Amino acid sequence: MKLRILYFARLREALGVSAEEPELPAQVATVDALIGWLRARGGVWAVELAEGRAFRVAVNQEMAAPDTPLAAGDEVALFPPVTGG
């Protein structure tokens, strides 16, 4: 399954990537599973996406929860809590 993943703000800088389209194993079917898969890359990924770190996930430009399902072609975004206004 192929997803488009976007990274914003401090997370984009820390991870050193703004967008990617990885090929994911079929069992990565939820937001939670995707975070686990990214975390397993180790290094800065394990640090920035560790349990308890404050980050948000959107799927197809809507805020998502850990159990939000993922489908091929989805646009997923990871970013820090927002600070506009």
Partner 1 sequence: MKIRVQTEPFDLGAEIAALYARNPKVGAVASFLGITRDENEGYAIRGMRLEHYPGMTERALTRIAAEAMQRWPLLDLTVVHRVGELKPTEPIVLVAVAAAHRGEAFAACEFIMDYLKTRAPFWKKELTEAGGRWVEARASDDAAAARWDASEWGER
Question: Among all chains, which residue has been given the structure tokens 């703000």?
Answer: 9
Q: How far apart are CA 9 and CA 81, in angstroms?
A: 10
CB atoms within 10 A of CB 36: 13
What the block records as the tokens of 69 is: 């399902």
Binding site for partner 1 (CB under 8 A): 6, 8-10, 54, 58, 61-63, 77, 79-85
CB of residue 40 to partner 1, shortest distance in Å: 25
CB of residue 39 to partner 1, shortest distance in Å: 21
The closest alpha carbon to 3, from 61, 70, 65, 63, belongs to 70
Nearer to partner 1, 33 or 58 (CB): 58
Nearer to partner 1, 39 or 56 (CB): 56
CB of residue 41 to partner 1, shortest distance in Å: 22
